[in-house]
Chain A
Amino acid sequence: MPSVMLKKNAEGKLVFYVPKKDLEEVAESVEFDSPDKWGGEVLLSDGSKYYFEPLDEQPDFPVTLRAKRLD
């Protein structure tokens, strides 16, 4: 369950940063990405997948959230 810092980059894409792992990747896709639901499976550009508990609204980026690693 790593803590992940999420922010939007200049192109508006989601950047995924795990401080302990020095992992800084752009998210390719987010399962739920609408104004009233956000979260689910997130696929990173290096091929790894993480899972966020879906939220009822868009979080205010940048934000730190807990994620679960899916393999």
Chain B
Amino acid sequence: MAALTKEETEALIQEVLEVYPEQARKDRAKHLAVNDQSLEKSNKCITSNRKSQPGVMTIRGCAYAGSKGVVWGPVKDMIHISHGPVGCGQYSRAGRRNYYVGTTGVNTFGTMNFTSDFTEKDIVFGGDKKLAKIMTEIEELFPLNKGISIQSECPIGLIGDDIEAVAKKANKEIGKPVVPVRCEGFRGVSQSLGHHIANDAIRDWVLENRDGDDSFATTPYDVAVIGDYNIGGDAWASRTLLEEMGLRVVAQWSGDGTIAEMEKTPKVKLNLIHCYRSMNYIARHMEEKYKIPWIEYNFFGPTKIAESLRKIAALFDETIQAGAEKVIAKYQAEYDAVIAKYKPRLQGKRVMLYVGGLRPRHVIGAYEDLGMEVVGTGYEFAHNDDYDRTIKEMGNATLIYDDVTGYEFEEFVKKVKPDLIGSGIKEKYIFQKMGIPFRQMHSWDYSGPYHGYDGFAIFARDMDMTLNNPCWKQVKAPWKTAESSDVAVAASA
């Protein structure tokens, strides 16, 4: 199918909105837009970070997911207590594939689930005593932990437990950082507020721990990688590039990261932000308090990598700038071979994305390097500043959808007919049953890394093996077979 014109895309949005009741239609219309690169500001065309409509299928998470799952969870040498009922921690345990080095259960705890397992009794009488006891037990059972964070689940805020007081007391007793995080799931409209709360907790309880301590020897080339969660090894693939160009990566936030690295971050010369949405708060804070500049970068696909490496190098001296050129030249043969192999197989294919914090705009470059075109993109929980950055990356007249509902996404796909969809696990099986190639872009579909030059080769291979898999032609949606339409008629009678 040829690319849609602006009018056709607008008509498509109107058509999809038609089934909603008037109030919902008016609200949802603000979240769907046709991209127009001439716009400087996204608030002229799209509304974001608003409460989802009751009754629609949203794909968002909660504040606890944003704090425990995203920001704090990957800090490997701390123990993160999911404070509240057991389910929140257990069902999200190890699902995000933040890789780390260490012996789980001895000095690292990334894939384990620690919970206070609230029962009725704790709701009635409060859970502070239980929490204090848990921390003593943790200290006994896992003496090599480097700190504890308390990730609140909904009931903690509802019953008004004073976890800060418990944390302060425990901190004195065990002599390690104990961080209470007020990330109850009901706060805010999506996981985005959880990121913010987690950032604020880092600011208040971690960052100033080493203020006035100059024992850490710094160099002029110290940087921190912020907002890379090492999904499938992403942060490692990024880190090697930065180190090869001559920088010293002092801290990784928070994939394969440690509390000590976080405490050392105020000593660096530059903060490199990959996931702007989840970590810009702490970068802005460090800029104000420690005068550390920060820049955003993008390590998806060779074009964007080269652009980012040069942008980072420009802030340092000539040795680093030469280093960046050396890195780009070193990998050129490698990525040219990847493009030569996969571009002919993927050329002209159209992709629709619907992901989280940074990928709806960051991966566009990687697809374009493979000759593919992104025809629709959207975020679960972005704010206006994310859309400001997206408008420039997307082609004119392409679709942009904020907090898309299950229904809208399906209808858009039916009409736009993309060759590939990149989204999460909740969308995966619907589209696969419709016979459309699908990649999970949250967890890289159990593959990865996709960052860096090494990641690009894996990215290209994965896209090819999904898109050109012969199975898709064999699939017909079960609800489209003759039998099921009979059943549907019977059911509607």
Contact = CB atoms under 8 A, between A and B. Distances in A.
Interface string B373-389: 00000000001110010
A43 to B, nearest CB: 16
A2 interface: no
Contacts of B49: 22
Interface size class of A (residues with CB under 8 A): 10 to 19
B291 to A, nearest CB: 8
Contacts of A63: 288
Interface in B383-406: 383-385, 388
Interface in B39-77: 41, 49
A17 B288 contact: no
Given A22-B385, A24-B385, A62 B288 contact: yes
A54 interface: no
Contacts of B196: 19
The dominant DSSP class at the B interface is helix
Interface in A13-71: 17, 19, 22-24, 46, 62-64
A17 B284 contact: yes
B287 interface: yes
A46 B284 CA distance: 22
Interface residues of B, number: 12
Contacts of A7: 287-288
Given A24-B385, A24-B388, A46-B41, A19 B281 contact: yes
A5 B383 CA distance: 17
Interface string B187-210: 000000000100000000000000
Give the interface centre of A7, A17, A19, A22 by most chain B CB atoms within 10 Å.
Answer: A22
B192 to A, nearest CB: 10
Contacts of B383: 22
Contacts of A5: 284, 288
B385 A62 contact: no
A64 B385 contact: no
A64 B288 contact: yes
A47 to B, nearest CB: 11
A22 B288 contact: no
A24 B388 CA distance: 10
A4 to B, nearest CB: 12
A62 B287 CA distance: 7
Contacts of A22: 49, 383-385
Interface of B: 41, 49, 196, 281, 284, 287-288, 291, 383-385, 388
What 4 A-B pairs have minimum CB-CB distances, sorted nearest first?
A22-B383, A22-B384, A62-B288, A62-B287
21 contacts: A5-B284, A5-B288, A7-B287, A17-B284, A19-B196, A19-B281, A19-B284, A22-B49, A22-B383, A22-B384, A22-B385, A23-B384, A24-B385, A24-B388, A46-B41, A62-B284, A62-B287, A62-B288, A62-B291, A63-B288, A64-B288
Interface of A: 5, 7, 17, 19, 22-24, 46, 62-64
